[in-house]
Amino acid sequence: MRIRKKPWAEAELAHNSRVIGDGTAWKGKWSEFFRNHNPIYIEIGCGKGGFITKNARMYPQYNFIGLERQQSVIALAARRTDTELPNLALLWENAANLSDLFQVGEFQRLYLNFSDPWPKKRMYKRRLTYRGFLESYRQRMGNHAEIFFKTDNRNLFEFSLNEFCADNWKLSNISLDLHNSEYEGNIMTEYEEKFSAQGMPIYRLEARYDA
């Protein structure tokens, strides 16, 4: 979904201290940015920042980076970001550029929340859980990789199950209706709050790869 361009977005991104202007400059040096050696967790497609911000508040022992490719959306996230969170950063970037932003092993977990399902069959290689993406994620994470995935789209979820298995990830905590499951500690995204309020089931899984 395209978001109408915000006239104030460019200035917000330029002056908000949580927004990293050039992520490539920190490749291999993210521990210096955060001033600690805590694990780094990344959300691809962080939207307006609700999920990643809640995680940063709840888990100060981890560092969180939100990636978002739409300028106006990441600007909205930046406006909502609490400047008291030293373990949170935002990047206006595309997921395809992870290798330009991080050295191997520099982050340990990815969150993929309500990614674009690209419903037309010919577009399946654009889905963020396509095996080509999965391979690039685990290569960038190194010996121990984790992906936590949520969606409201059953077809995308079924596709993703097959892709994770094809790329030899181990799956756990698979849920076909997250909010009516026994899973504890779920942090909702803005989309999730909207969809669950409409009674739509939320699909979730955790995937791990150990070299």
pLDDT, one tens digit per residue, over 75-90 is 777 777 766 899 999 9
3-state secondary structure of 137: helix
Amino acid making up residue 75: A
Superfamily of domain 94-210: Vaccinia Virus protein VP39 (3.40.50.150)
| Strand boundaries in 21-162, DSSP class E | 40-44, 63-68, 88-92, 109-113, 144-151
Averaged pLDDT score across all residues of the chain: 90
Q: Which residues of 123-136 are buried (b: 16+ CB within 10 A; e: fewer)?
A: ebeebbbbbebbee
Catalytic annotation, residues:
116
pLDDT at position 69, please?
83
More confident residue, 60 or 92: 60
pLDDT at position 3, please?
55
> Any idea which of 73-87, 98-112, 127-141 has the lowest mean pLDDT?
73-87
* C-alpha distances out from residue 100 to 27, 90, 146, 181, Å: 7, 16, 20, 38
